Amino acid sequence: MITSPNSSVRGMPSGIIVPIITPFDQDGSIDWPAYERVVAHVIAGGVDAIFVLGTTGEGPSLTTAGQRDLVKATQAHVAGRCAVYVGVTDTSLAESLRMTEHARDCGADAAVIAPAPYFPATPAGQIAYFSAFVEKSTLPVILYNIPQMTKVNIDLGAFNALVDDKKILGVKDSSGNMVYFQRLQHIARRRPDFSMLIGAEELLAESVLMGAHGGVTGGANLFPELYRDLFAAAKARDFDTLNRLQTRLMTLSCKLYAFSGGGYIIQGIKAALAARGFCQPWVQPPMLPADAALKATVAELVKEFS
């Protein structure tokens, strides 16, 4: 297995995994110099892996050519310094497999796949879908639960049927439901090498204290050191440090994420990165860039955290 200064053994995803943003110019094209800056920033901040083409990265809004270019560029910029996981979820299983093959050719470490969007699958359908993907995948696989986007949770019975497949490295759960996450974790206990990753960063400390292996945290685009240090404090059970850092994380969450409507997490992260000089605030349709109120909140937050 390859190792890096920022990562433990690549075979088991762990630590802080950043679902990296995709910077854009105003015309919607990828801002490649800005992307290189953000990659360098999160690696310098100590993240253990980069998750490209995720929700925070607006992966589903990119063209296929743009997705492929981004995977290739990510590998070039990372240059072995941390693990790279690639989101391959698509309405077409065949397209997911093609993107996985491209990611493998570029040197990625794993493919990340959620239940297929648009047509909600039954539990039996989920087993058939994931089994077919895992069998044909040219990379190890991380399952991805994000019911906000796919209309369904990964069914617990389906998860139980899949978890023994050694080609599946772990699961990322972005439901924000800690009871559901702990049920997944309970099922996976029979596989000590199975990685449990939390997607709701507000639950990172709690989940790690209960045995989770890491988190996929959008805020690590902004302040990777905060998430790195919080993860380390949780692992060490250093509760004084953990309480202090959790308070900072919740300040970030309440000021940057606590808005109604879709897209605000992405808009807020990009607006904050723009305020710090890393990229422009543009997002892909149908989202709109941060409005004046969010920009003012972001400016205050960046000043406070700096």
Contacts of 81 (CB under 8 A, 6+ apart): 4, 5, 6, 43
| DSSP-derived secondary structure letter, 201 | G
Output the CA–CA distances (angstroms, integers) from residue 274 to 64, 192, 225, 262, 280, in the order listed: 26, 41, 18, 20, 5
Active site residue 151: no
Angle at 294 between CA 39 and CA 30, to 5 degrees: 35
Q: How far apart are CA 284 and CA 28, in angstroms?
A: 7
Q: Which of 35, 85, 151, 172 is catalytic?
A: 172
Residues 176-200 as b or e (16 or more Cβ within 10 Å = b) = ebbebbbebbebbeeeeebbbbbbb
Q: Where are the alpha helices (DSSP H) in 45-115?
A: 64-78, 93-106
Output the CA–CA distances (angstroms, integers) from residue 304 to 54, 240, 243, 272, in the order listed: 28, 21, 18, 12
Q: Which of 144, 227, 270, 295 is catalytic?
A: 144
- Other C-beta atoms closer than 10 Å to the C-beta of 233 total 21
Q: How far apart are CA 194 and CA 210, in angstroms?
A: 15
Active site residue 227: no
Q: Does residue 100 have a known ligand-binding role? A: no
Q: Where are the alpha helices (DSSP H) in the chain?
A: 32-44, 64-78, 93-106, 123-136, 147-150, 156-162, 178-188, 204-209, 224-236, 239-252, 264-275, 292-305
Q: Does residue 56 have a known ligand-binding role? A: yes
**Would you list which residues are annotated within the binding site?**
56, 216
Q: Which residues define the annotated binding site for pyruvate? A: 56, 216
Just list the catalytic residues.
Answer: 144, 172
